[in-house]
Amino acid sequence: MAEEKKVGTYICKGCGIGDRVNTAGMATIATRECKSQVTKEHDFLCSAEGVKMIQDDIDNDGVNHIAIVACSRRAKTEAFSFENVAISRGNVREGVIWVRPDTDEASETTQEMAEDYTRMAVHEVSVMTPPTPSGQSEGRKNLLIVGGGISGMTAAIEAARAGYEATIVEKTGALGGSAANLYRRVPESSPFKDPEDSGVAALIAAVDADSKITVHLNSTVTKTSGAPGRFSADITTESGATATENFGAIIQTSGFTEYDANQLPHLGYGKGKNVVTQMELEALAAAADGGVIKTADGKDINSVVFIQCAGQRSDEEGHLPYCSGHCCTTSIKQAMYFKDQNPAIDTTVMFTDLRTPGAGGEDFYRSGQDKGINFTKGVASEVTDNGNGCTVKFRDMILDEDTSTDADLVVLATGMVANAGVDIDVVGQDDPGKWEVSVDSILNLDYRQGKDMPQLRHGFNDSHFICFPYETRRTGIYTAGPTRRPMDIGQAIEDATGAALKAIQAAENAELGRAAHPRSGDLSYPSFRKEGCTQCKRCTVECPFGAIDEDEERYPQFNEGRCRRCGTCMGACPVRVISFDNYSIDTVGNQIKNVDIPEEFDEKPRILVLACENDAYPALDMAAMNGVEYSAFARIIPIRCLGSTNLIWVTDALNSGYDGIILMGCQKGENYQCHFVKGSEIAQDRMSKVDDTLQSLSLEPERVETYEIAITDIERAPQLINDMAATIEKIGMSPFKF
């Protein structure tokens, strides 16, 4: 920045702050100790008048670094948003007066807290720079959609309706995907009684008619690189001709493959023409086209048994452990193919738990019962050829007996396997059964962390992204439809619509250099000091979003558009060369170092709390709102993610004489609650090395604790702070006070 740095400190006396603490004393500290050039108190800082006072100083007095010492940074964000300046917040309301008793005995330590938060705010902002967009984005807004089934076509049409161009790349020679093979679909509208037209032809017609949509058939994506707003994709036709095109965002709608029924020989598959899968029955029905449905070898069908959960919801080797969601309603629909044609045909749906999701699912089930489809709660154990058809041996779960029934045709509900591409996370594959359907990459990402989208469970491209199910771990690339998780047509249409809107949002954000969820709108991005970098690759390996590639010289290459601004790279860097304009080793380190550490014999310990801004910090704020008190010795610093915690902060704190350190992050592991997916987990791995530091300083291990905190831990989070205070009382003060 060319202009001179000028720090202004604004101290609010409202909300009872002025009554509880000596703001004049805080102002003196800001000016004398922290060298704030402009320091002002105000009775009601977030009022129009208070805000104007600050804005006037920015406009007329050249103030460009602003420390607001008032309430939590999570409060009054709109009032205290000033453009083109660096801002820090000292939390004296939720962080001090609301968590301390209003008593004479407490007033001294309360004042000390308020003064420390003033010091921290001023020293933090002093090392900040107002963030500006990187300008990396090429501002592209068009969407690449990989897969031309119902999901892909829906996404393209929705994008086009919103005014954005879309390009569909479809591997086969025609649009339509799996749904094109359906004779009819499960109804999507009231009264949910009869199978309906699949709607595929209408969708294809709409795609063809739309001038904003381009379709590449017989094509695949052979290379994808770049970032939101500037993706580059190689689209290769069957013949090998490749064209490179640029896109703003990507949606992967690669669909599913029906589970291989050859793995179910006990259910008679592959031994004759009397046992088919659901998709194969669709082909028979489509061939009959409203006429009499016959077996593949042309025999009449007077009885049909539908076996649900064939090779799924099973922990047997080679089976799918999950429910594919659509198969129960699909079987009801298929039984109706027969019943609607001839009610005398016996149709039995053999289920263990009939699941008919969706608004109309239950109505459709009733309609099936009404049409005379027989529903039997039972588990089929064996299907044999009886010369005249099949015999299905099963356990009747209601009548509690082993029995059998004959059928001319048996239909197996075999479930969905995601076309998810390459599993980039080959470790942790401890699920029962391994299903490798598609080992061809879908996106061929030219990313440091792998060719395809990360998978969550059972090979699906879901993300379990906290508070935002559409989000993925590759910014600007969304997955939709059955590649994301098992779903039916209705769900896929909804899913694709949402993904289209998210993709558009990602492209728009990229142009402005703004982050996506959860730090939506953040303009800061990581950069590094090349001279200091040792090319250790920790940042490129640990980034939960695959945002960092390596350049030809093997230095990290930050792709701002892909970055979620969690700071995990910053926490990982052993030589501390990575920083954001407004969040760095120094912005936090400066706060740590400028807390006033009383002499050992003052009996006033200091506890540093590094609290994740997503859950732990809000939990502490809410505790304050509820009047839950905690120790006056705590000094709390919000951090973007526990993953951004650099060990140097802990070492510095211990060296400066802090008596205890608490790290508060989100839940890690399989049911993680970390808003950056991996940040919390990575940080906790890193912290396992803290013991070495403690040992080298001859400090007790209890002085540093790491906790998983949920946003609902309103009682627990303050309690953990008090527990640390009690621990220190027990083991004594840190000897490192200078």
Partner 1 sequence: MSDMNTAMVEKYRNSFLSEVEANVEEGEWVKMCMQCGVCSGSCPFGPYWDHPPQELFMMIRAGKREAVLSSESMWMCTSCYNCIARCPRGLPITHIMHGLAHYAKRLGLAPKNQQTMKFASIFWDNLTKKGRVNELQLGLKLYFMNGFVEGIKTALCMKEMGMSMLMTKRMSPMEYFGGHSIKDTKGLHAILKKAREIEEAKAKQF
Per CB under 8 A, residues contacting partner 1 are 354, 365-366, 369-370, 372, 374-377, 396, 398-399, 403
Residues 6 or more apart whose Cβ sits within 8 Å of residue 285: 183, 184, 293, 334, 337
Smaller CB separation from partner 1, 392 or 634: 392
Smaller CB separation from partner 1, 370 or 715: 370
Smaller CB separation from partner 1, 399 or 726: 399
Helices (H) and strands (E) in the chain, counts: 18, 29
Closest distance between partner 1 and the C-beta of residue 319, in Å? 24
Dihedral Cα 30, 35, 36, 40, nearest 10 deg: 50
Closest distance between partner 1 and the C-beta of residue 361, in Å? 12
Closest residue by Cα to residue 143 from 121, 122, 163, 172 = 163
Q: Residue 657 and residue 491: Cα distance in Å, rounded?
A: 57
| Spatial contact of 736 and 606, defined as CB atoms under 8 Å apart | no
Closest distance between partner 1 and the C-beta of residue 369, in Å? 5
Q: What token pair was written down for 281?
A: 């029955």
Smaller CB separation from partner 1, 260 or 396: 396
Closest distance between partner 1 and the C-beta of residue 320, in Å? 24
| Spatial contact of 504 and 249, defined as CB atoms under 8 Å apart | yes
Peptide bond into 526 cis (omega under 30): no
Q: Residue 416 and residue 320: Cα distance in Å, rounded?
A: 9
Closest distance between partner 1 and the C-beta of residue 329, in Å? 14
Smaller CB separation from partner 1, 375 or 460: 375
SS3 state of residue 239: coil
Smaller CB separation from partner 1, 398 or 426: 398
- What proportions of the chain, in percent to the nearest 5, are helix, strand and coil? 30, 20, 45
Q: Residue 639 and residue 570: Cα distance in Å, rounded?
A: 12
Smaller CB separation from partner 1, 257 or 302: 302
Closest distance between partner 1 and the C-beta of residue 403, in Å? 8
Closest distance between partner 1 and the C-beta of residue 211, in Å? 49
Smaller CB separation from partner 1, 63 or 332: 332
The number of beta carbons lying within 10 Å of the beta carbon of residue 299 is: 14
Q: Residue 39 and residue 27: Cα distance in Å, rounded?
A: 6
Closest distance between partner 1 and the C-beta of residue 192, in Å? 15
- Integer CA distances (angstroms), 234 to 4, 67, 221, 436, 591, in order: 47, 49, 6, 25, 48
401 CB-contact burial (10 Å; exposed 0-12 / middle 13-18 / buried 19+): exposed
Q: Report strand pairing: 249-252 vs 143-146.
A: parallel
Smaller CB separation from partner 1, 343 or 669: 343
Backbone angles phi, psi at 38, to 5 degrees: -125, 125
Strands in 78-185 per DSSP E: 86-91, 143-146, 166-169
Closest distance between partner 1 and the C-beta of residue 333, in Å? 17
Backbone angles phi, psi at 428, to 5 degrees: 80, 20
Smaller CB separation from partner 1, 372 or 735: 372
Smaller CB separation from partner 1, 331 or 376: 376
Closest distance between partner 1 and the C-beta of residue 362, in Å? 9
Residues 6 or more apart whose Cβ sits within 8 Å of residue 104: none
Residues 6 or more apart whose Cβ sits within 8 Å of residue 729: 605
Closest distance between partner 1 and the C-beta of residue 339, in Å? 12
Residues 6 or more apart whose Cβ sits within 8 Å of residue 660: 605, 606, 607, 608, 702, 703, 704, 705, 724, 725, 727, 728
Closest distance between partner 1 and the C-beta of residue 491, in Å? 22
Closest distance between partner 1 and the C-beta of residue 367, in Å? 10
Closest distance between partner 1 and the C-beta of residue 396, in Å? 7
| Range list of H helices, 453-528 | 489-512
Smaller CB separation from partner 1, 369 or 534: 369
Q: Report strand pairing: 231-237 vs 242-247.
A: antiparallel
Smaller CB separation from partner 1, 29 or 350: 350
Q: Residue 404 and residue 607: Cα distance in Å, rounded?
A: 71
Smaller CB separation from partner 1, 396 or 600: 396
